[in-house]
Structure 1
């Protein structure tokens, strides 16, 4: 059965789908009967829903489940679409496709991951090669790395965003490395691949994008360094200076103290990583702001607070 997304719903649509339950309450009508008020969502939007003739035992049986199968019918009430629920059923994790409920990359995840592994395999320095092998032979790490967003809001804030961002920056690194003989290509590429791995612990994305407790208390820079240190200990004779250089790449890649960087870039590889990371993030944020602008006929976006400027949308028309 083809899923009906919320943005596709009209009045009078029969519903039998799994939804992400953002919140649900048991309320009382004026005549004293109970009903469930809920807000349901998928990747395309949210919809208000009600289930009449509810009971306390039934409501409590739903527990804290965030994904539920909803059967019912939509109607228009006060010029707004709402869903009248006839039945609520529990569902299993196997039935849930997370990309149906949260923004997801438009790229092919398997293809991107294969491209990144090809870049990983090009590393020649033996200790860095072994380090990356420890990460990418870990199935749980790979699953989380391919699923995680790269941010909550700013750039690549969607499932698969971390992989998409890392691959883009790695490709940029491969392009510039031959142009500057002083750059250690293997160190730069390894640093690029590992610079944001802490985000798999910093960010949560089970029902929306938010920071984990670890993300709030520690942050992805420190989490990433700790992950690298843990694996480097498993490699006999991993040079301390090489580990220091790799830790510096992660700790300094934000580039400025005011951007949360505990260290300024102090090696060529760290400087390159910072600017390549910033290029990809900024271009993605520009494109997102232009794409989401509400007036397609205006040459300019509204003022963008994050980028602190208006953006000209039509430069591609002059090519």
Structure 2
């Protein structure tokens, strides 16, 4: 059988009898037991197009011997009809482990949709608005994490800005820019400090340089310490360490302690409440604005991603109801902003009124709305 070891596996929804083949990666694997007590392996397959799960049953397991998380594989899959309340699924026909040097292991993530040159321009424009003391604080923090790691980091595993490199920079620039837009509201301009808004936007997620990593064949992973220490507390740790190491440098630059404290407050409170990972709730005006700006950036990016990867409404699937509703609202919004076509001249039609047998004292009207329109 001819195998194309360069073509990526098309990640599509299974239909009964469908056949697909190509290269992908084993992003995760887990041993599980069915309700009938049968042991099987659940494998998460993925490449730059997306990911989906594949159940490997006992009679198929020998073919997967020696294949582990992070490995690249060539697979052929066969669609099976759903049963027992579950939708259609894929079953594997053949699998071949790829060499570790295969490029599929390094191109699991979609590219950042914003070119690096544009991100650099936006970053420079934000930094140019900072005072010299604020620029000094930003410089020592980036030196602590290294600017290379900051620009290489993703902003999330999957929900928003889940790209690497540039995911964190893309999201951080959006947050700072959104915060500055909110600061233009006339009544509140004098209340908000520009240095805190920009630094808070660019550094609010700096803890993600320690929280996330990109692993070949797997994609974006969370560091073990992230289970105990969220990026809000990791960010506070990074900034505190940077300021301690560069105390004399910051003093010479005139960086005030209140600015450091304000940035730390933004970092630890930008998720709003403890249940969402914030040790403290937003207390300052800048903290509230950056909390809102963070939500705007994350939710808009997630919505855009859902719309771009959604199944057409004409072909709904049983497990994408949320995306279907999102599409429906999006299409309603598009129609609402589309100028209506002029109605053709119509003859006036009198409403049709039907009166049948009704209880005494009750009047019932049945108007044909189509003719009455």
C-alpha displacement of 1:115: 2.8
Matched, 1:101 2:108: yes
C-alpha displacement of 1:248: 0.6
C-alpha displacement of 1:192: 0.7
> Residue 307 of structure 2 contacts residue 327 of structure 2 at CA under 8 Å; is this kept in 1?
no
Distance 2:238 2:77 in 1: 51
Indicate the residue corresponding to 2:350 in structure 1: none
Residue by residue over 1:274-307, the C-alpha shift from the partner in whole angstroms, topping out at 9 and shown as x without a partner, is 1111122222333344445445259xx9457xx9
Distance 1:24 1:256 in 2: 33
Indicate the residue corresponding to 1:32 in structure 2: none
Residue by residue over 1:140-189, the C-alpha shift from the partner in whole angstroms, topping out at 9 and shown as x without a partner, is 73343334332334433343432221121122233333441221111210
How many residue pairs align between the two structures?
Answer: 291
After the TM superposition, which residues 117-266 of structure 1 pair with which residues of structure 2 at under 5 Å, given as runs?
Answer: 117-136=123-142, 141-159=146-164, 160-179=166-185, 180-206=189-215, 207-233=218-244, 234-236=246-248, 237=251, 238-266=255-283
> Residue 44 of structure 2 contacts residue 53 of structure 2 at CA under 8 Å; is this kept in 1?
yes
> Residue 23 of structure 1 contacts residue 39 of structure 1 at CA under 8 Å; is this kept in 2?
yes
Distance 1:164 1:89, change over 3 A: same
> Residue 302 of structure 1 contacts residue 311 of structure 1 at CA under 8 Å; is this kept in 2?
no
TM-score normalised by the chain length of structure 1 = 0.71
TM-score normalised by the chain length of structure 2 = 0.62
> Residue 255 of structure 1 contacts residue 265 of structure 1 at CA under 8 Å; is this kept in 2?
yes
Residue by residue over 1:115-140, the C-alpha shift from the partner in whole angstroms, topping out at 9 and shown as x without a partner, is 343135314433321122234457x7
SS at match of 1:84: strand
SS at match of 2:191: coil
> Residue 28 of structure 2 contacts residue 69 of structure 2 at CA under 8 Å; is this kept in 1?
no
Distance 1:12 1:150 in 2: 32
Residue by residue over 1:255-285, the C-alpha shift from the partner in whole angstroms, topping out at 9 and shown as x without a partner, is 2344332222222211211111112222233
Distance 2:163 2:272 in 1: 24
Matched, 1:316 2:320: no
Matched, 1:66 2:70: yes
Q: Which runs of 5+ in 1 are unaligned?
A: 26-36
* Cα-Cα RMSD: 4.2
Distance 1:223 1:119, change over 3 A: farther
Distance 1:274 1:21, change over 3 A: closer
> Residue 24 of structure 2 contacts residue 46 of structure 2 at CA under 8 Å; is this kept in 1?
no
C-alpha displacement of 1:12: 8.6
Structure number with greater Rg is: 2
